[in-house]
């Protein structure tokens, strides 16, 4: 077996309701600012939930050709924008690489649902012959990865993971494995989602999965681990990281944010939407993550939790952390940045991996805002309401997806 390679993070790119670049996103996250407002892109008054974390003032033509933008979905626009930002942040120059050694793995839980909605309306209102010839390539989940590669000339391994809300944690993990095994030199990985449209919004409302008690106070609606939580809040955007082998990063003198030292995945095999009530699936994933990294529970400083603000998720996630970390669970710093970004679904893990990289870089842990009322089932340290300064050597990002999917990543300060 060939020698395994160390893998590092050298570039970050994001598009969220809290900013169109990582600096503005991070500043807002650390100050506890919510990006959740009343829905503006359609009239939400007939829906039980009327709020979301929308990306505002986004123009895809700032990132890609007008014609290409017209022929692709908003989730692909976000992926292009976040990748372009990661390229700039990493000072990445393709001329320094063999393009067949540069991969792209960008996930999406839902893909081009806006395209589906609009083209379905055209089909019913105008007939079959008026459906766009670009409908199919626009709606496919893998198209974010494909179009990113086309835009930037990346000819290495290219695919997408579709595992609902754990999609981009899986993509980053698969990129890590690919680099570790020497199958590429650099991979752009993460997730993109633009599902804040009437069709999918209605679907989540009918599942009774989203918050309905705070329509008049949107910024208070996402309240992970708080006993008054009543559902998640939809968000949109993209998060993309550049992973490289350590040899590649050192050779081009790249800035290194942190090292990736572990990836694990598991399945609850329990229910299509509800997590295992005992937390066994996620606990197994976290234990595998510790085993692969060679670290002990006491070595971990911070967990960016899935923390959706739903009753079952927050309770089961807390239980899983206790199972995996035993007596060390009480010592962990844990926060859910979904309290500010809303839930970006398939893009959540990409954004939250960026949070982990910034936590390690800056020594600041963002808060879980709206944590006001103790839930006896959620009794760990969720960094309530205010960011704290805390040296973090090891951080975990973990996500759960409908279907019982669990995925987790381990990041470590580079040395």
Active site residues: 165, 306, 343
DSSP letter (8 states) at residue 19 = B
Cα separation of 228 and 374, whole Å? 9
DSSP letter (8 states) at residue 249 = H
Residue-wise DSSP of 161-214: ---GGGHHHHHHHHHHHHHHTTS-SEEEEEEEE---SHHHHHHHHHTT-B--TT
Which residue pairs, CB below 8 angstroms and at least 24 apart, start in 281-285?
281/320, 281/404, 281/406, 282/316, 282/317, 282/320, 282/324, 282/398, 282/400, 282/406, 282/408, 283/319, 283/320, 283/321, 283/323, 283/324, 284/406, 285/398, 285/406, 285/407, 285/408
Kindly give the residue spans of alpha helices, DSSP state H, lying in 9-71. Answer: 22-30, 66-70
* Helices and strands in the chain, H and E counts: 13, 14
Nearest to 298 by CA among 290, 289, 306, 308: 290
For residues 81 and 95, is the Cβ–Cβ distance under 8 A?
no
Nearest to 144 by CA among 99, 193, 186, 100: 193
């Amino acid at each position: 077996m060939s020698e395994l390679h160390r893998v590092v993070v050298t570039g970050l790119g994001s598009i969220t309701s809290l900013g169109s670049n990582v600096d503005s996103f991070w500043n807002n996250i650390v100050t506890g600012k919510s990006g959740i407002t009343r829905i503006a892109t359609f009239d939400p008054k007939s829906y039980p939930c009327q709020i979301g974390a929308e990306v505002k003032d986004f123009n895809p033509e700032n990132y890609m050709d007008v014609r290409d933008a017209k022929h692709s979905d908003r989730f692909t626009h976000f992926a292009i924008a976040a990748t372009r930002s990661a390229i700039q942040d990493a000072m990445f120059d393709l001329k320094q690489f063999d393009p067949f050694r540069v991969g792209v793995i960008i996930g999406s839980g839902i893909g081009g649902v806006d395209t589906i909605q609009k083209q379905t309306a055209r089909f019913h209102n105008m007939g079959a012959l008026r459906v766009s010839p670009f409908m199919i390539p626009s709606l496919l989940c893998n198209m974010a990865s494909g179009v990113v590669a086309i835009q930037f000339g990346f000819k290495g391994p290219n695919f997408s993971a579709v595992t609902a809300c754990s999609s981009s944690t899986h993509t980053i993990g698969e990129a890590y494995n690919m680099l570790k095994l020497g199958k590429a030199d650099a991979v752009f990985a993460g997730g993109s989602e633009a599902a804040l449209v009437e069709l999918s919004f209605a679907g989540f409302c009918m599942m009774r999965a989203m918050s309905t008690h705070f329509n008049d106070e949107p910024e208070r609606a996402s309240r992970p681990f708080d006993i008054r939580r009543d559902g998640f809040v939809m968000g949109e955007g993209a998060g993309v990281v550049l992973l490289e082998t350590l040899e590649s990063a050192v050779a081009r003198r790249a800035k290194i944010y942190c090292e990736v030292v572990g990836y694990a995945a598991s399945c609850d095999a329990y229910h299509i939407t509800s997590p295992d009530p005992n937390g066994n699936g996620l606990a197994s994933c976290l234990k595998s993550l510790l085993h692969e990294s060679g670290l002990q529970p006491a070595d971990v400083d911070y967990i960016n939790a899935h923390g959706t603000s739903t009753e079952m998720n927050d309770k089961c996630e807390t239980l899983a952390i206790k199972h995996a970390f035993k007596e060390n669970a009480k010592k962990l710093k844990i926060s859910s940045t979904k309290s500010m970004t809303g839930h970006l679904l398939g893009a959540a893990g990409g954004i939250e991996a960026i949070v982990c990289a910034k936590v390690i870089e800056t020594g600041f842990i963002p808060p879980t805002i709206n944590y006001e009322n103790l839930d006896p089932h959620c009794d760990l340290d969720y960094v309530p309401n205010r960011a704290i300064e805390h040296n973090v050597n090891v951080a975990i990002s973990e996500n759960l997806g409908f279907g019982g999917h669990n995925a987790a990543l381990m990041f470590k300060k580079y040395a």
